[in-house]
């Protein structure tokens, strides 16, 4: 946790645009402002700081990130978390999952080198459970672990999986990310729906990413619910390998620059035709390739 590298003694535990909360090795928390306009701090960043007051500092430098999870749209990038070691993709019996959103989160995490655990929360809402389970079937076919849980239950079946990790929770609004975190870290007091209803703060309960400590070497990052998950920043070749089921087929198409559409001898289309891979995922791949091309055009200013 804080102080792992003496050159970067601060740990960003919350980031709000131009402001950040930084945990120091001695347990203090101070407000940090980045040194330059271009410096974008992400929750989980390790930073070198210069104190300018008792609880205020300027962030001088950010340590090289081991991982970075972010999403993007045409205008900007949204950083979820730096240096996380795994992603927990939270879904719930209710609200029902938006399938494309799930796949986008999964692809972003895979492209970022982060393993994914899927949680199906609110299993206490038993009448909604069969439909929710069915909705996760495409993920199960990709050999992804799906752990059923309820934030209302003292026992969380995935607790051991978080040990030694920095886990970033991602998912739609209202699935219970903050509720699960409150269960994991009783001191966290992350805002949940119940609290925001009382405060009348609108739909999204969590408005900024925030890192909570579970123990000395485990932490968890809460993030605001996502409705759209732009991944136009990924190139076609990054996309190809982020679709894990494509991996064994890559290099087997007749043409080296195969786009996996209607080229003869396409290994991916052949696998889709016999049901070995999911046709809907192949369609999503093409949609994401088009978005990637659009994003590249925007970057070039066309």
Q: Which residues bind Mg ion (CB under 5 A)?
A: 177-178, 205-206
Question: Distances in Å between the alpha carbon of 223 and those of 4, 13, 176, 215, 227?
Answer: 24, 12, 11, 19, 12
Find the shortest distance in angstroms from Cβ 141 to ligand GTP: 25
* Residue 97 to residue 302: CA distance in whole angstroms: 35
Binding-site member from 174, 233, 246, 271 for ligand GTP (CB under 6 A): 174
173 binds, among Mg ion, Zn ion, ligand GTP, none (CB under 5 to 8 A by kind): ligand GTP
253 binds, among Zn ion, Mg ion, ligand GTP, none (CB under 5 to 8 A by kind): Zn ion
151 binds, among ligand GTP, Mg ion, Zn ion, none (CB under 5 to 8 A by kind): ligand GTP
* Residue 21 to residue 3: CA distance in whole angstroms: 15
Q: Which residue has the tokens 């400590």?
A: 213
Which lies closer to Mg ion via its Cβ, residue 172 or residue 205? 205
Pull the structure tokens for residue 19: 């402001």
Q: Of the candidates 101, 36, 106, 108, which has an alpha carbon nearest to the alpha carbon of residue 71?
A: 108
Whose CB is nearest to ligand GTP? 225
Q: Of the candidates 151, 183, 181, 156, which has an alpha carbon nearest to the alpha carbon of residue 166?
A: 181
122 binds, among Zn ion, ligand GTP, Mg ion, none (CB under 5 to 8 A by kind): ligand GTP
258 binds, among Zn ion, Mg ion, ligand GTP, none (CB under 5 to 8 A by kind): Zn ion
Q: Which residue has the tokens 């102080």?
A: 3
According to the binding rule CB under 6 A, does residue 173 interact with ligand GTP? yes
User: Do 256 and 240 touch, CB atoms closer than 8 A?
Assistant: no
Which lies closer to ligand GTP via its Cβ, residue 35 or residue 98? 98
Contact positions vs ligand GTP (CB under 6 A)? 121-122, 124-125, 150-152, 171, 173-179, 192-194, 204-206, 224-225
């Amino acid at each position: 946790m804080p102080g792992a590298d003496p050159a970067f003694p601060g740990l960003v535990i919350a980031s709000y645009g131009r402001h950040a909360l930084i945990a120091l090795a001695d347990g203090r928390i101070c407000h940090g402002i980045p040194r330059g306009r271009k410096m974008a701090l992400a929750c989980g960043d390790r930073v070198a700081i210069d104190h300018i007051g008792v609880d205020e500092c300027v962030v001088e430098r950010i340590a090289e990130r081991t991982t970075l999870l972010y999403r993007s749209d045409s205008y900007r990038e949204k950083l979820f978390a730096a240096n996380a070691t795994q992603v927990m993709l939270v879904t719930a019996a209710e609200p029902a999952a938006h399938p494309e959103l799930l796949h986008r989160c999964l692809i972003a995490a895979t492209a970022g080198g982060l393993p994914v655990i899927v949680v199906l929360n609110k299993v206490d809402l038993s009448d909604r459970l069969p439909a929710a389970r069915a909705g996760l079937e495409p993920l199960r076919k990709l050999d992804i672990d799906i752990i059923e849980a309820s934030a209302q239950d003292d026992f969380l079946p995935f607790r051991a999986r978080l040990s030694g990790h920095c886990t970033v929770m991602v998912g739609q609004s209202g699935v219970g990310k903050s509720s699960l975190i409150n269960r994991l870290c009783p001191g966290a007091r992350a805002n949940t729906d119940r609290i925001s209803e009382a405060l009348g703060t609108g739909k999204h309960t969590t408005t900024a990413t925030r890192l909570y400590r579970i123990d000395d070497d485990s932490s968890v990052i809460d993030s605001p619910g996502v409705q759209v998950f732009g991944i136009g920043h990924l190139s076609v070749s990054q996309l190809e390998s982020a679709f894990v089921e494509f991996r064994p087929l890559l290099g087997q198409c007749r043409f080296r620059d195969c786009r996996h559409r209607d080229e003869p001898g396409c290994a991916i289309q052949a696998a889709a035709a016999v049901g070995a891979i999911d046709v809907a995922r192949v369609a999503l791949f093409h949609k994401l390739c088009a978005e990637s091309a659009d994003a590249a055009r925007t970057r070039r200013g066309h």
